[in-house]
Amino acid sequence: MSKESLSSRVSNWFKDRLGLDDLPLFKTPDYMFHVNEWLGALVAGAFFYTVISGLILLLYYNPEAGYDATETIINTVPYGSVFLYSHLYGSYAMIILAYIHMFRNYFTGAYKKPRELLWIFGVLMLVLTLGASFLGYSLIGDVLATSAVDVGAGIISSVPQLSFLLPILFGNYDSGDFTRVLAWHIILVALIGFLFVFHLLMAERYGMMPSRKVKPKAPAVYTKEEDQKFNPWWPRNFVYMMSLIFLTWGFIIAIPNALAYLNGLPQELDPFLNPKPAPPPSSPLAAQVTTYPPWFFLFVYKIADFTSDVVLFLLIGVIIPLVYLLLVPFIDRTDELHPLKRRVFTGIGILMITYLVQTSIWGDIQPGIQVSVAEQVLAYLPPAIIVAIGMAFLPYREKGSTRTKVPMFKKAQFSSPIAVLLFMILAMLMAGAATLFLASPSPLSAAIFLPILSLFVFYAKALTPVAIKAMPQGDSSASDSTSETINSTDVIKLERKKRIATYMIGVLLIMSAIIAADMWTIPSTGFESNMWGIDLGLLFIMLGEAISLYHYVVYKKPNESYE
Amino acid sequence: MLSFHSKKGDKKVLSPDEFHFIRELTFAIRNKGFDPKEFVKKGDSYLFNFAEKNTSGIDEKRRNFLKAMVIGVGVVTVAGIIPGLRVLVPPNVSAVSSFPKSVLLNSSGSPLKASSISVNSPIIMLFNYPLSGEPNFLLNLGDSSGKPVEVPSSTVTVPQTGDKYTFPGGVGPNKSIVAYSAICQHLGCKPPFIHFYPPKYLTPAQLTAPEPDTLTAEALASAKSAKAPAIIHCDCHGSTYDPYHGAQPLTGPTVRPLPTVLLEWDSSTDYLYALGSLGVGIYPEGANGVPSKNPTVDLSSNFGSSVGDKTEVKEAENPFSS
C-alpha cells in the first residue's frame, strides 16, 4: 500500500466518501462507449449549461422592463451577450437533442418493459422543455416574443373553458410586466430538474439499453451477474461523460457567438440563425418584421392554418401525438425490439419525424397562410403511403442467416482518376459556395452551400482511407476480422493510435493555453466580447476532446467492437 | 502491455518503456525482499503482485502523464473563464438624482446658436435628453408666413387623469423655441412616424400623402378649430399635439400630452440649455409600457445613462418629399 500514487489516493478518498461503489450506478459494458448510447448525457449537458447561464442572467433580468433588460444584458453587462446568446442556443440544443434522444429510444424499443416509466418521464420532460423554452423566449419582450405570446394566448382563449388559464400563465404580460412569465419559466425548469433526478436514477437502475445482439427481446436488462463484470461507473463512465458534456457546452457556446460575431447576419433573417432580439413591439420597425413563433413551435403554428376549429387543431397538433407517446409502452406490448418486427410502430415513428420536419419547414416558408383540405392531403398522404409500403415490404432477415454486406459504392470507385478529378471540381465548388455564403449569408446561399458541403464531406470521407493509408484498391477483405480472439496486429494498431492520441492531447494543451491567454485581452462588452465567447466554446471543445482522448488512451481495449 | 514491431515475421523488440520496466523489476527483485520460495509455491500471481507493488509500471507512468496533461487543459480552461467572472460584477450605472443641465450642440460639436434655428423647419431636429435613447424635438415655431411667434405660457391638461400643469412658453430671442419628447405617448412611435407639420404642409394635400406624412382629416379639422398654424402628428395611429400650447393633445388616440423639455436661453451667448422635463413621464422603451405621471421617475431607471452636460442636436431628415 505504500506505493499508491497521490492521484489514486485522492480518487479513492472520494470514491469511499461518496460511496460510489454502493450507489445503484450502472456498470457499462465496453461496447457502450459510443455517443449513440449517451444521447441522454448530451441532453443533460445542455440542460445544466442552460440552467447555469440562466441563473447568471437572472442576476440582471428585470421582468418589469423585459426588452430594456435584454438590451442592457447584451450591451452593457460584461460578457452579457455571451451568456444570453449561449443560453438561447443551449435551449435550442436541448430541444434538438431531446428529440434525437427520444426517437432513438423509440426505434430501439427502449420504452418497453421495464423502462415504461422512464419513457413517460422523458416525454413529460420534453413537454416541459418546450413550455419552458416558449416562456423563456417570451421574456425577451421583442416583437417576435410578444406576438408569439399573443398567438399562444389566442389559442388558449379560443377554447372558452381554458381562458381562465390566461391570467394564471401570463399575468400582465400585455402591459409589459413579465414577472409571471419569468416565474413560470423558472418553475418549469425546476420541474424538469425534479423529473430529471428520477429519470436518471431509473436509467441507472435499469442500465442503458443493451445491444440487440446481446438482448434481443423485451425485458432488455443485464442480470446482476453480468453487470458485475462491466466497467464500474467510477472512473471510466465518469470520464467519458465529462468529455461529452464539455463537448456539448463547447458547441453551445461557440456557435451562437460565432453567429453574433459575424455581424453580417441581418436582423430580418430567420430568427433561428440570429441570436439578437428583434425590435420592440412599440418601435415603428416592428411593422416590418414578419412575426414568427419560435422555430420549435413552427409546426403547431402551421397546423393552426389547417382548420379554424381550435379544439380539432389542439387535437391534431398537440394532444394526439402527446397521448400516443405517453401510451406507446402500453400499446406496443410485444417483447420484440427489432424495428422491423414492430413495423406499425416503426412506421408511426418515421411518420412523426417526417411530419414534424415537414410541417415546421412549411410553417417557416408560408406562415399563417390557410391550407385547404386538398392541399393537406397532397402534402401528408405521400409520406404515409411511402412509409406504409416500405414497412409492408421491407424484408427482415433473421439473425444467423448469412449476411453479406453489399457496400453502396466500392471504395475503389472513389479513387479512379475520373473520380478524383470530379472530387477536385467538387472541392472548388465547395470553396466557392463557402465564400458566397460567408460574403452574403442568406437562405439561398445556405441552400447552395450546404448540399455541396455535405457531398464534399461524404466524398472526402470515402476518399480519405485511399489517400492516407494507400489502401490497396478493391480489396475489402483485409479489414474483415470478425473473430473474437485478440489479434496482435489489432493491438499494435491500437497502440499506435493511442500514441497519436497522446500527442494530440499535448497539442490541445498548447492550443488551449494560447486561446486562454488571448481571452484575457478581449474587451468584456460590445461585439468583440463575442470573440471571447467563441474562445470559451473552443476551450470547452478542446477540454472535452482532451478528456475523450484520455479515455481512449487509458481505457480503450483492442476488442471493443461496436455492436 | 507488450508491444511488438509491426511487420509480419519481425522479431520481438523491446520498447524503451519495457526496458525501463524490466530494469526496475530486476532492481526490486534484488533489493526489496522478493521471496523465491513463495514464487515457487504461488507461481505467476506472486510475481505479478510483487511487480505491481514494487514498480511504478508502464501504464501507471503514462497514465499519470496523460492525467497531468488533461488536468492542464482543465486548468487552462478555468484560466480562460476567469475574466468571464466579470459577468457577476454589475456594470456601473451612473445614477442620476436630478435632471442634468445640458448645453445643446450642433453637429460639429460646438454649442448651437438659438438664432440659427430656422423657423417652421420641416427637417426633424432631435436631441437626446435626459437619458441616451430618449429623443426630443427642437422646434422654432412661427406663423403661417414664416415669422417666429412668441409662444405664451399656458395650462396643459392631461386628459387621462385630468391633472393640469403650466407650460412655461417658448425661449430664445423671439420666445419661439420649444422642445418636446419625440416619443408618442400613445404607443411609443418615434420619428419619422411622429413629427412636426409646418403650416406649409398643414393642408388637405397631406391627406393622401404617403407615410409617414399622412394627415387625418380629423387632425386637420382639430388644428383649424384650435387655430394652430402647425401641429405635431403621429402617423402610426393619428395622435395630434398642439406645439403652441405645450403639446396639448388635439386628437386621440393619445390620452397624454408630450412631455415638455424645459429650455433655458442664455442671451449673452445665444446658447440653449436643457434643464429638465415637465408633464408626464417619457414613454418608456419596451413592451407596451405605460408611462408614469411623474417625469422624474425616468431618472431612477436602471436602464440607459444620463446624457451629461451636453447633448447633440441631430438634423435627422426631411420627411416631406416636396
pLDDT in tens, A353-371: 999 998 888 888 777 788 8
The reply to whether A317 touches chain B by the CB within 8 Å rule is: no
What value does the mean pLDDT take over residues A395-402? Answer: 61
| Domain-ending residue, one of B62, B88, B114 | B88
pLDDT score of A470 more than 60:
no
What are the tens digits of pLDDT across the range A212-267? 888 888 888 888 888 888 888 878 888 999 999 999 999 999 988 888 877 645 54
Residue A268 reports pLDDT greater than 80: no
Do residues B25 and B133 both lie within one domain? no
Here the cell at position A543 is 477540454
For residue A525, the distance in angstroms to the closest alpha carbon of chain B comes to 10
| Boundary of a domain, candidates B33, B60, B88 | B88
What domain count does chain B have? 2
**Mean pLDDT value across residues A537-546:** 94
pLDDT tens sequence across A78-114: 999 999 999 999 999 999 999 999 999 999 999 998 8
Residue A523 pLDDT exceeds 70 = yes
Contact between A24 and A201 under an 8 Å Cβ cutoff? The reply is yes
* Better pLDDT: A486 or A476: A486
Residues of B in contact with A83 (CB under 8 A): 87
Nearest residue, CB atoms, B4 vs list A83, A488, A505: A488
Same domain? For B173 and B238 the reply is yes
Q: Is A520 on the interface with B (CB under 8 A)?
A: yes
What pLDDT sits at residue B287? 40
> Is the residue at B122 inside a domain?
yes
B96 belongs to a structural domain: no
Tell me the mean pLDDT in the region B152-179. Answer: 86
Q: Per-residue confidence at B105, pLDDT binned at 50, 70, 90?
A: confident
Its domain, for residue B57, covers: 16-88
- How many Å lie between the alpha carbon of B292 and the closest alpha carbon of chain A? 13
Across residues B272-294, what is the average pLDDT?
72
B201 and B293 part of one domain: yes
Q: Give per-residue pLDDT as tens, A29-68.
A: 888 888 888 999 999 999 999 999 999 999 999 888 788 8
pLDDT band at A198 (very low <50, low <70, confident <90, very high): very high
The mean predicted confidence, pLDDT, of chain B is: 80
Range list of H helices, A158-237: 165-170, 179-206, 224-228
Interface touch A516/B74, C-beta < 8 Å:
no
Is the Cβ–Cβ distance between B62 and B3 less than 8 Å?
no
Q: What is the mean pLDDT of chain A?
A: 83
> Same domain, yes or no, for B210 and B303?
yes
**Of the given ranges (A190-194, A312-316, A557-561, B272-276), which has the lowest mean pLDDT?**
A557-561
Specify the pLDDT at position A561: 60
Within 8 A of A502 by CB-CB distance, chain B residues are 62, 66
Is the Cβ–Cβ distance between A149 and A172 less than 8 Å?
Answer: no
Q: Chain B residue closest to A554 (CA)? A: B63
Rounded Cα distance between A301 and A298, Å, is: 5
Which grid coordinates are listed for B67? Answer: 492525467
Q: Which chain B residues are within 8 Å of A548, Cβ to Cβ? A: none
pLDDT > 90: percent of chain B: 7
Query: Is the Cβ pair A68, B88 closer than 8 Å?
Result: no
Q: Do B28 and B139 fall within a single domain?
A: no
Taking residues B149-154, report their average pLDDT.
88
Cβ burial A64-101 (10 Å sphere, 16+ → b, else e): bbbbbbbbbbbebbbbbbbbbbbbbbbbbbbbebbbeb
What is the reported pLDDT for B1? 42
Whether B132 and B107 map to the same domain: the answer is yes
More confident residue, B266 or A58: A58
Same-domain status, B113 and B82: no
Among residues B57, B88, B119, the one where a domain terminates is B88
The residue that leads in pLDDT, B44 or B77, is B77
Chain A residues with CB inside 8 Å of B302's CB?
62, 65, 72
- Domain membership flag for residue B93: no
Check whether residue B127 and residue B64 sit in a common domain.
no
To test the contact with chain A by mutation, choose from B12, B87, B94 the residue with the greatest count of A C-beta atoms within 10 A, namely B87
A300-351 pLDDT, tens per residue?
Answer: 888 888 877 888 888 888 899 999 999 999 999 888 888 888 889 999 999 9
Mean of pLDDT values over B295-314: 70
Shared domain for B112 and B241, answered yes or no, is yes
- DSSP annotation string for B8-35: TTPPP---HHHHHHHHHHHHHHHHTT--
Q: Which residue in the set A76, A79, A535 is minimally distant from B86, CB to CB? A: A79
The answer to whether B64 contacts A5, with C-beta atoms less than 8 Å apart, is: yes
Say how far apart CA A342 and CA A106 lie, in whole Å.
Answer: 11
Q: Which letter does DSSP use for residue A486 in this model? A: P
| B288 and B146 together in one domain | yes
Assigned domain for B1 exists: no
CB of A519 less than 8 A from some CB of B? yes
Enumerate the residues of chain B whose CB falls inside 8 A of the CB of residue A520. Answer: 82-83
| Cα–Cα distance for residue pair B287/B191, rounded to 1 Å | 18
Asked, for residue B42, whether it belongs to a domain, the answer is: yes
Contacts of B3 in chain A (CB under 8 A): 491-492, 495
**Averaged pLDDT for residues A105-134:** 94
B207/B72 same-domain check: no
d(CA B294, CA B271): 28
Of B131, B65, B67, which is closest to residue B99 (Cα–Cα)?
Answer: B131
Residue B138 within a domain = yes
Q: Which residue has the cell 427637417?
A: B123
B95 within a domain of the structure (yes/no): no
Residue A541 buriedness (CB in 10 A; 0-12 / 13-18 / 19+): buried
CATH number for the domain that contains residue B197: 2.102.10.10
**Which pLDDT score is estimated for B64?**
83
Give me the residues paired with residue B179 across strands: B138
- The pLDDT-based confidence of A22 (bands split at 50, 70, 90) is confident
Residue B5 lies in a domain: no
Based on the domain organization, do B127 and B212 belong to the same domain?
A: yes
In angstroms, the CA A467 to CA A456 distance is 15
